[in-house]
Amino acid sequence: MTHLAYFISPHGFGHAARAAAVMSALHAQEPALRFEIFTRVPRWFFDDSLRGNFTFHPTLTDIGLAQESALAENIPQTLRRLKTFFPFDHARVVPLAQRVTRLKCRLVMCDIAPLGIAVARAANIPSILIENFTWDWIYEGYARDDARFLTYIGYLRDLFKSADYHIQTEPVCKYRAADLVTRPVSREPRMPARQIRQQLGISTRARVVLITMGGIPQQHAFLDRLTQIKGVHFVIPGNSHHGEKRGNLILLPHRSHFYHPDLVNACDAVIGKTGYSTVVEAYRAGIPFGYISRARFREAATMATFIQDAIGGFEISAADFEGGRWVARLPDLLALPRYERREPNGADQIADFILSMLAHSGNDGSTR
């Protein structure tokens, strides 16, 4: 059995969703692979998302940004965490390098978790960086107001550049020299939309809108307004501890038995945060997106352009979203067309690349 290590940023669920899509695509082609997953994303996310053999290693792999809510970051707390995490020291890197060596991992994949690159170097095995942005680029947007970020930008830029292989996944925030640029990487739905709607208790003819803030649970003050809208059902993950149906509202817990790509595919539109996984799952399903952009987060502008050009939809300000004023624009969103996607999933492109690389690697694990 071939072991592959995967170091995944715990910033939201988007990086874990992309990694799960890649691992599922690899497993589909080579079931004998075993994944060694290093992250602080909850294990249940991979239990729900990943088909294939894996071992979960709870490890702080990345800092990203500390969040006050789904739409607001906490910069002072982020800087405090960065100070305790960077630069990497031997006490953090060497035990992990020894572990991936003991597990006989052939390579280390990193979804923007820089620790994985350092561990791969210490273990003398190849590293693959998979990204649509890197943290040095994100932190540049905050360094204009707080020069303390400059300390980490240079360090991270050099570390990301040191990866042996570099894969970028569309929509890409900043194109750089890469070994592969893929189409969007998304988890695939598992069940037909009709079956998901039946389980939700919704007619196949009804209009359904998914309201999601990604991996961060959030209570919404506008729910009473939604109950007044006739002919439209709203599915809202992360808004109930146990799950409940309230008229035309279906409130789901943060972790429910519904697979998120299935929910997206069963709906007619999405309203939510512009996180990578939600955006590309909406793209894959071909449904329009009413997006709440994050003003200071640099990725948001790329996601907004991608939604407007490739998906269809429009921006909803954070104030209008929280105040429920977006409801007046709901008919415009539902009037937008749904598209059928026939292009390859970027996860399959990455799987092809990695399996080809492994097939041509030497006995010592070298690939170049």
Distances (CA, A) of 16 to 62, 229, 289: 12, 35, 21
Q: Quote the pTM value.
A: 0.94
- Domain presence at residue 108: yes
- For residue 74, what are the CA distances in angstroms to 15, 70, 82, 135, 159? 20, 11, 12, 16, 24
Residue 243 lies in a domain: yes
Q: Poorest-confidence range of 72-81, 155-164, 328-337, 353-362? A: 353-362
Q: Note whether 316 and 221 are same-domain residues.
A: yes
Same domain for 267 and 216, yes or no, is yes
In a shared domain, residues 84 and 32: yes
Nearest to 241 by CA among 277, 211, 258, 217: 217
Tell me the pLDDT tens digit for each residue of 171-202: 999 999 999 999 999 999 999 999 999 999 99
pLDDT over threshold 70, residue 137: yes
Residue 365 lies in a domain: no
Residue with tokens 């602080």: 40
| In a shared domain, residues 124 and 234 | no
166 occurs within a structural domain: yes
Domain for residue 175, yes or no?
yes
Distance between CA 75 and CA 116 in Å, rounded?
24
6 vs 176: CA distance, rounded Å: 22
Whether 16 and 63 map to the same domain: the answer is: yes
Could you tell me the sign of the dihedral formed by the alpha carbons of 197, 339, 275, 187, in that order? Answer: positive
Q: Is residue 245 part of a domain?
A: yes
Stretch 158-183: mean pLDDT:
97
Query: Is 10 contained in some domain?
Result: yes
Residues 210 and 349 occupy one common structural domain: no
User: How large is the average pLDDT for residues 67-92?
Assistant: 93
Range of the domain at 132: 3-186+345-359
Task: State whether 278 and 207 are in the same domain.
Answer: yes
Question: In the predicted model, what is the mean pLDDT of the chain?
Answer: 93
For residues 329 and 351, state if they share a domain. no
Number of domains in the chain: 2
**In the predicted structure, residue 305 carries a pLDDT above the cut 80:** yes
Q: How many other C-beta atoms can be found within 10 angstroms of the C-beta atom of residue 65?
A: 22
pLDDT tens for each residue of 307-351: 999 999 999 998 999 999 999 999 999 999 999 998 999 999 999
- Helix, strand, or coil (residue 81): helix
| 366 within domain boundaries | no
Q: What is the mean pLDDT of residues 147-159?
A: 97
Same-domain pairing of 309 and 208:
yes
In the structure, what pLDDT confidence band is assigned to residue 363 with cuts at 50, 70 and 90? very low
Asked if the model's pLDDT at residue 295 lies above 90, the reply is no
Task: Quote the crossing angle between the two packed helices 150-161 and 114-123, to the nearest 10°.
Answer: 50
- Looking at the structure, do residues 233 and 154 belong to the same domain, yes or no? no
Does 218 lie in the same domain as 291? yes
CATH number, position 293 = 3.40.50.2000
Is the pLDDT at 14 greater than 90? The verdict is: yes
Q: In angstroms, how far apart are the furthest CA atoms of the chain? A: 65
Share of the chain above pLDDT 90, in %: 85
pLDDT at 296: 81
Displacement of CA 250 from its chain's centroid (Å)? 24
In tens, the pLDDT along 253-285 reads: 888 899 999 999 999 999 999 999 999 999 999
Looking at the fold, whether 34 and 157 belong to one and the same domain comes out as: yes
